[in-house]
Amino acid sequence: MALDFKMAADAIYFVPLGGCGVFGANMSLYGYQGQWIMVDCGMGFADDTMPGVDVLLPDPGFAVSLGDSLLGILLTHGHEDHIGAIQHLWPRLQKPLYATKFTMERILQSVSEQSWGNQTRIQEVPPQGKVELGPFSIRYIRMAHSIPEANALAITVKDVGTIVHTGDWKIDFDPVEGNVTDEKELIKLGDAGVLAVIGDSTNAMVPGHSGSERAVQENMVELFGEFRGKIAVSCFSTNVSRLRSIYTAARANKRQVCLVGRSLWKTDEAARRSGYLKDMPPFIDEDEASGMDESRVVYVCTGSQGEPRAALARIAAEEHPRVKLRADDVIIFSSRAIPGNERAIDRIKNRFHATGVIVVTDRDAPIHVSGHPYREELKQLYRWLRPKIVIPVHGEHMQMEKHALLAREVGVEQAVIPVNGQVIEIAGEGIASYVGEVNHGILAIEGNRIVAMDHEAILTRKRMMFNGSAVVTVVIDGRGALMAEPKVTALGLLDENCDLDAKYIADAVKEIKNLIKNFPKEQRGDDAVMSEAVRVAARRFFNERFDRKPQTRVHLVRI
């Protein structure tokens, strides 16, 4: 795949392949004089408009086409939207990975389940470490976030300048676990001169400050004391700080903490292997908790985003083998809804409400803070770094637009809103411009394979979901005459056991019989022509009566 732009000798090139205009699937490329690095390799999550698809991936085709010019992949932190695509895309990329200890442990957990997992080359980066790749000198800058070891990357090219890729971050000077945002290092970078900031836009529309995890911990201590029955908490499984807060609140109320869900146990393992939670005793499992007084346990459950196979959904449906919540027990949603997941989460909440379980959310009590910066934090970052250019990423267009406006308000000379696949030239004198476009797109995990979002299987399911499907079976002889009654099945449109619907089916059969009876003799020997005529007639029938255009298939059998 040839580049459709010429690389200037005094400019760095930024190419987002994911994470712009959408939450998740973060993947960015930086290029200089024909050499490139990748930052993050994340996945996204499908919504209910994509039936049968759970995981989305950025299309890495352009990155793959770079071959040996792509020098490595640097990971900012261990959230799935930044590392989750590695287990699916690394065989295509086959480049060395660079990550700090906790992120490395998370990656190893995911690739160990793959047949090629032992081929992956991962290099551990120490805290505040430095990586040299070709012309790129990359420093890891500690940032607070809702997961240990979140990092911004200061990407420097000699004689051009420094670009700060923030990753996910916030300002929390009193976290209960993990990094404090490194104010001194950020100010130092600003004093030395920052060409551009490529920054998180998640909360760019939210005024104020995101708040501290310490406040969540203190509020949970008080909240847990209000209940005597079972307490269940659902949070993001990677939020190690929240696990510590829950443990502290449970201990203050003479309770023990039980983890429910495989991903929580994997996070616990990665955290302890990386030196976190080390002063806390091991969590208990469901078997241990089942024999304890219910007033002495706090269950931490996966599934805060309404995932149908996670622990919380099974508990809500009363299908979990060990954890049961009844009237006057409490479920605490200690997380925010990722856009697109609201309906799935509400379905779970409603099931709990219907059985008398008390539901507590962050609207009822201060039991969650975001891991992403609010507007005042963004302003503070730009006061520290004083960049010439800001390029918002990681958000939908409305968040990115607000982020760009904010940057201009605080004196940033230029703010550029990117689109996935666009090539942005960042010149050393401090001017950013669009200079081209590369192949890009979104891939989907379809069963055990990776396909494009416009794959016929996905498009067909979408059409079936909204319009139903119809199958017409026609048996004819060599001359094209019917040998049996046509069979019509209309899934998602008609119920054969309903008398009224049976009449519709009979009417459809009648129209098809008339079509075949009057079919031109010179075309009766052409199976393709006859099949298409029957398909169009059946589709027209359902469109006229139900205002639906079902996915229609014809089985023409000639005997």
Q: List strand residue ranges (DSSP E) for 146-279, in order.
A: 150-157, 161-165, 196-200, 231-234, 256-260
Q: What percent of the chain has pLDDT over 70?
A: 95
Report long-range pairs for 157-161 (Cβ below 8 Å, ≥24 apart): 157/12, 157/32, 159/10, 159/428, 160/10, 160/11, 160/12, 160/32, 160/195, 160/428, 161/12, 161/193, 161/194, 161/195, 161/196, 161/426, 161/428, 161/430
pLDDT given for residue 291 in this prediction = 84
Q: Which residue has the tokens 């398909």?
A: 535
pLDDT at 178 over 70: yes
Please give the Cα distance from 123 to 104 (Å, whole number). 8
CATH number of this structure's domain 468-558, picked from the four choices 3.10.20.580, 3.40.50.10300, 3.40.1390.20, 1.10.10.10: 3.10.20.580
Average pLDDT over residues 540-555: 88
- Asked if 537 and 512 touch (Cβ cutoff 8 Å), the reply is yes
**SS3 (DSSP) at 490:** strand
Please classify residue 21 by burial: count the beta carbons closer than 10 Å to its beta carbon, then call 0-12 exposed, 13-18 middle and 19+ buried.
Answer: middle
- For the cut 80, the answer to whether the pLDDT of residue 466 exceeds it is no
Q: pLDDT tens digits, residue range 375-399?
A: 999 999 999 999 999 999 999 999 9
Which CATH superfamily groups domain 11-208+370-452?
Answer: Ribonuclease Z/Hydroxyacylglutathione hydrolase-like (3.60.15.10)
Lowest mean pLDDT among 81-90, 130-139, 149-158, 332-341: 332-341
Read off the tokens for 72.
Answer: 């490595």
**Measured distance CA(358)–CA(513) in Å, rounded:** 60
Is residue 242 packed enough to be buried (19+ CB in 10 Å), middle (13-18) or exposed (0-12)? Answer: buried
* Whether pLDDT at 76 is above 50: yes
Residue 129 CA to residue 127 CA, distance in Å, equals 5
Among 444, 442, 422, smallest CA distance to 432 is for 422
Write out the two tokens for 331.
């479920």
Cβ neighbourhood burial of 487 (10 Å; 0-12, 13-18, 19+) = middle
Cα–Cα dist 460/469, whole Å = 9
Question: With 50 as the cut, is the pLDDT of residue 1 above it?
Answer: no
Least confidently predicted of 76-80, 262-266, 477-481: 477-481
Summarize the confidence of residues 161-175 as an average pLDDT.
95
Assess whether pLDDT exceeds 90 at residue 93: yes
Q: Where are the alpha helices (DSSP H) in 423-525?
A: 456-467, 499-517
Per-residue model confidence (pLDDT) at position 461: 65
- The count of C-alpha atoms lying within 13 angstroms of the C-alpha of 500, restricted to the half-sphere facing its C-beta, is 2
- Distance (Å, rounded) from C-alpha 73 to C-alpha 27? 10
List, for residues 483-524, the tens digit of each pLDDT value: 989 998 888 887 777 777 888 888 889 989 999 988 998 898
Q: Centre a 10 Å sphere on the Cβ of residue 1 and count the other Cβ atoms it contains.
A: 11
More confident of the two residues 470 and 256: 256
For helices 101-111 and 262-273, angle between their N-to-C axes, nearest 10 degrees: 140
Rounded Cα distance between 268 and 136, Å, is 34
Domain boundaries, the chain: 11-208+370-452, 213-360, 468-558
453 has a pLDDT exceeding 80: no
Q: Given this chain, do its domains 11-208+370-452 and 213-360 carry the same CATH topology?
A: no
pLDDT of residue 342: 87
Pairing outcome for strands 196-200 and 231-234: unpaired
22-31, 145-154, 473-482: segment of lowest average pLDDT: 473-482
Pairing of strands 414-415, 150-157: unpaired
| pLDDT, average across residues 266-290 | 94
Strands 130-133 and 161-165: unpaired
Please tell me which residue, 448 or 370, carries the higher pLDDT value: 370
Q: In terms of Cα–Cα distance, which of 68, 98, 100, 76 is closest to 27? A: 76
What number of CA atoms fall less than 13 Å from residue 268's CA on the CB side?
22
Average pLDDT of span 86-101: 96
Q: Is the pLDDT of residue 532 over 60?
A: yes
Q: CATH number for 213-360: choose from 3.30.390.10, 3.40.50.10710, 1.20.140.160, 3.40.50.1970.
A: 3.40.50.10710
Question: Residue 521's pLDDT is what?
Answer: 87
Side chain identity at residue 370, one-letter code: S
Can you point out the beta strands (E) in 65-178?
70-74, 97-99, 122-124, 130-133, 136-143, 150-157, 161-165
Specify the pTM. Answer: 0.85
pLDDT, averaged across the chain: 92
